[in-house]
Amino acid sequence: MKTIALIFSGVLVFSLYSCNNDEETINEPIGDDGVELTYNFESDEEGWDAALAEFPIDDEDLYEFEVEHTTSPLNDEEGALLLSASNPNGNLFMYVSKQISGLQPSTQYQVSYNLDLITRVIIDTTNVGTDTTGIVTDTTGIVTDTTGIANDTTDLDGDNGDLFVTLNDTVVIKAGAVSEEPVTETNTSNFLELIGIDIGEPGADGFDLVVIGSFAAESTDAGYTQQTVSTDTPISVVTNEDGDLWLLVGTETFGTETEIYFNSINVVIDR
């Protein structure tokens, strides 16, 4: 039988696990069926840290990044972890992470996710310059042609099981696990990036994070949309020498304003 640990208000139901504000400790070896951890954000962030990455550090104030424990916009009796930001430069990457301790050192594990989230993405199309209108009109045909290509690759997608992200997708959800704490650093181009973590190009898998879902947003003042996304196959990770790993969930958005509410994050860690 799979071991399940449900977490409410940062307190674990079973004594096989312990939790403080920032990390989850698994005190017993994981059996053949793995361990399941569920975070419902009923009263607080439950140890998940949130941050913004992959943007010019000089523009930091323009992003208006905020993190808040709040209630779900669709049900005020449910808690949620909210990430919100403006997006002046096209692609925005927000992420949450949590440390898991007490695993076997330098050991490979398989991590699976199921996420329940609510999104609100606004796309501002009012800033298209008059001089470029002709260019946009000309490229419309090109976009139409590539839509056909996207349709063809969707059929290929059914054969190989890989998630194909089309040009119309404005929210991309990525998930993974890493053996070191996620930290950001400014590179020589004054760009704030995650160090030692490959999140992939926009809309594509990386070595450490893979795309687990994507969907389109309205090009107006859109309302809230609830989404459930999950991993098709488990994600492999090797713990560090202390038996730690970090869960990592990121969202890429291409809208002007973005709100991401995490209603719940369900994780299964297996051998």
pLDDT in tens, 186-224: 998 898 999 999 999 988 999 999 999 987 765 555 588
CA distances from 242 to 54, 102, 103 (A): 29, 8, 8
pLDDT of residue 125: 56
pLDDT of residue 6: 39
Nearest-angstrom CA–CA distance, 53 and 186: 10
pLDDT of residue 267: 97
Torsion sign across C-alpha atoms 178, 179, 182, 184 = negative
Nearest-angstrom CA–CA distance, 108 and 237: 6
**Alpha helices of 191-232 — where are they, by DSSP H?**
none
Q: Which residues contact 69 (CB under 8 A, 6 or more apart)?
A: 41, 43, 44, 45, 79, 80, 81, 82
pLDDT of residue 29: 67
pLDDT of residue 169: 60
Beta partners for residue 201, in sequence order: none
- Stretches in the chain below the pLDDT threshold 70: 1-22, 27-29, 90, 124-169, 217-222, 255
pLDDT in tens, 15-46: 233 444 567 888 666 777 789 999 999 999 99
Nearest-angstrom CA–CA distance, 160 and 162: 6
Nearest-angstrom CA–CA distance, 149 and 153: 6
Tell me, what DSSP letter sits at residue 162?
Answer: P
pLDDT of residue 136: 36
pLDDT of residue 28: 67
List, as own/partner pairs, every contact residues 5-12 make where C-beta atoms lie below 8 angstroms and the sequence separation is at least 24, other chains included. Answer: 5/35, 5/36, 5/37, 5/38, 6/38, 6/40, 7/37, 7/38, 7/39, 7/40, 7/46, 8/40, 8/42, 8/43, 9/42, 9/43, 9/44, 10/43, 10/44, 10/46, 10/47
Number of H helices, E strands in the chain: 2, 19
